[in-house]
Chains A and B, each alone.
Chain A
Amino acid sequence: MTDDVKVADKTDSLTDLKETDEDLRLPSVVEPAHFPVETIDTEARHQTPAVGQRATRPDGRLHGLGQTKYIDDITFPNMLFAKMKRAGISSALIKSVDTSEAEAMPGVAAVLTGREIPVNSYGPSYQDQPVLADERVFHAGDPVAAVAAVTEQIAEEACERIKVEYEPLEPVYDPVEAMKDEIRVHPPHSNIYATKRIKKGDLEKGFAEADRIFEGVYSTQMIEHVPLEPHASIAQWDPNGRVTLWSSLGRITLGRADIARTLDMPINKIRIVGTIVGGNFGGKNEITTEPALALLSRKTGRPVKMVYTREEEFIASTTRHPFIMEYKTGVTNDGMITARKVRLVLDGGAYCSWSETTLGKACILSAGPYNIENLLAEAYCMYTNKTMTGAMRGFGAPQVCFAYESQMDEIAHKLGIDPLELRMKNAFHEGSASPTGQVLQSVVVKDSLEKAAERFGWKEDGQ
């Protein structure tokens, strides 16, 4: 190597530096602190007994000061930024992925495809979701490659230069259509990937005892969690072959096991640090980008951060299941429910995620908080080539509640019974048996009805 830089040049650059320093006009006074250092607490935090106190939250103070460190507020020296290339096609075979142009871009440190992932599948109950799609695309938001670069913009541009060749496959979007299994989302498996059934008493006898029978079909929409903080993670591979992940994941113990499986590594080589999460609502209960970031960090020897854009939050994270719900209910003229038959069809999206739990909870809860001797509830969850559905605040309960409470209202109006009274007549009491035969304790359905009615002034203005 020749070193032909002259000493004079070096002096020049030092002068330059000095000038830049002055240009920057660095503040002569030290910047003020952004927060008080004295502790000023509310009484409730210091009182005993602790239970029942309206104690304030120490993290709440940091939130208000803007001092809470969410993932995107954390930076490490030499950190790279990752982006993912999204399929944009909902069902297809991947013929080829050409990353050469992206890799050649200045500022790009590494590109990762699905074939480089040791075990390219994950999921809390079925491992049916690839970290990066390698052979097949199941929904339009699927990632097909990941890039780590020195800036987010470069990573994004590099994603655009990755060329993927697809062979389109016939998709299925409608869950009822999917139920026919003519087009399979995950062949050879059936689209009906989870079912649940609850049977109690004698349905026919129950309907025979009814004076009136009500039938209705209800449906609900797909909903996004919209946590204000998008999914985010940072991965750092260390020279001992351990990887640390700072993640917005809400369940780190099980997430660690999932990551260990995808990376084919012992669990004790993985550390997950759960930071303060900027809203979860069920949407941050499974791993997403973590294995890919870990591998990008291993490839580059540098920490790698990825934060979902708002659009990715919609297209690449889980959502609330749309439901189609058939309800048939037999009642006596004085408003006692004698039998109920429920059929639930869930649009399960491209991957199982938490669908099994959602299906189970929805099915168990579908009859409502009412004493019903004769019951049949059946629920089916279907794969479709849409954004995956998963856990969201209530696991199917808001959907079935919309159906059973809408029907209760219809029954009340048609029978000319006050909606409050109809519910009071049928509501669980202490020791009631649930649809699964469980004897219930600490039951306060009626108290809640009365309290809400009183607070609202339900009886005051008449119908």
Chain B
Amino acid sequence: MTDVTLTINGEERSASVPPETSLLRLLRDEFFLTGSKLGCDVGDCGACTVIVDGLPVNACLMLAGQVDGRDVVTIEGLATLEDLHPIQKAFEEFASLQCGFCGPGVIISAKGLLDRNPDPTKEEIKDALSGNLCRCTGYTKMIEAVQDAARILRGEKEAA
């Protein structure tokens, strides 16, 4: 068994799991944070994207042991009791998600981008989302929503 202690969405959490456990399984099976999805388990689809120490990664490709002592943000860590995160709000307003299965991963990738680059071009947004497969939407409304959320986060637009 591997002992891990990490910060998830600002809370320190510990678990003891078999050494082959991925970060994704750790989140889903040990901590019941099922927002991160399993779409392929081999790093192809991005449904499992979470932020580790500020950077988006595929949680299915990381071992639980590798995140010991690190900081993880999952989709569950974005909203507050008062409000949705601006990206989540924009995704809702633009109907950017259809079946929604890719959504948590896409939104986390978008957050990873906007945290580093508050004013991305359309090409930069496409680039940031290129590791997140979506079969339903054609990505168009996602890109529009990320642009809108960026405007709100930069303070150029009032949140609805």
Contacts and interface: CB of A to CB of B under 8 A. Distances in A.
Interface stretch (A60-68, A159-167, A186-194, A426-434): A60-68
Interface in A46-76: 54, 56-57, 59-70, 72-73, 75
A36 B79 contact: yes
Interface in A209-245: 225-230
B127 interface: no
A32 B113 CA distance: 25
A38 B135 contact: no
A279 B135 contact: yes
A66 B135 CA distance: 18
Interface stretch (A19-27, A108-116, A347-355, A364-372): A19-27
28 contacts: A36-B80, A36-B83, A40-B83, A42-B92, A42-B93, A54-B95, A57-B92, A57-B95, A59-B100, A60-B96, A64-B84, A64-B87, A64-B92, A64-B97, A64-B107, A65-B78, A66-B34, A66-B36, A66-B103, A67-B35, A228-B47, A228-B133, A228-B134, A277-B99, A278-B37, A279-B99, A279-B136, A281-B135
A296 B47 CA distance: 30
A278 B79 contact: no
A33 interface: yes
Interface in A7-51: 23-25, 27, 29, 31-38, 40, 42
A310 interface: yes
Given A34-B76, A34-B79, A69 B92 contact: no
A72 B11 CA distance: 25
B101 A24 contact: no
Given A228-B47, A228-B133, A230-B39, A32 B9 contact: yes
Contacts of B107: 64
Given A25-B14, A72-B37, 14 more contacts: A25-B12, A31-B11, A33-B81, A34-B76, A56-B93, A56-B95, A59-B100, A63-B99, A64-B97, A226-B135, A228-B136, A229-B37, A279-B101, A279-B135
Contact of B81 (A37, A42, A75, A230): A37
Contacts of A281: 135
A305 B42 CA distance: 21
Contact of B11 (A27, A229, A277): A27
Interface of A: 23-25, 27, 29, 31-38, 40, 42, 54, 56-57, 59-70, 72-73, 75, 225-230, 276-281, 307, 309-310
Interface of B: 5, 9-14, 28, 32-42, 44-45, 47, 74-84, 87-89, 91-93, 95-104, 107, 133-136, 160
B10 to A, nearest CB: 8
B59 to A, nearest CB: 12
Tell me the dominant secondary structure on chain A's binding face. Answer: loop
Contacts of A57: 92, 95
A229 B28 CA distance: 15
Contacts of A69: 34
B64 to A, nearest CB: 15
A230 B9 CA distance: 27
B157 to A, nearest CB: 15
B140 to A, nearest CB: 15
A278 B134 CA distance: 10
B8 to A, nearest CB: 9
A68 B84 CA distance: 15
Contacts of B47: 228
Contacts of A36: 79-84
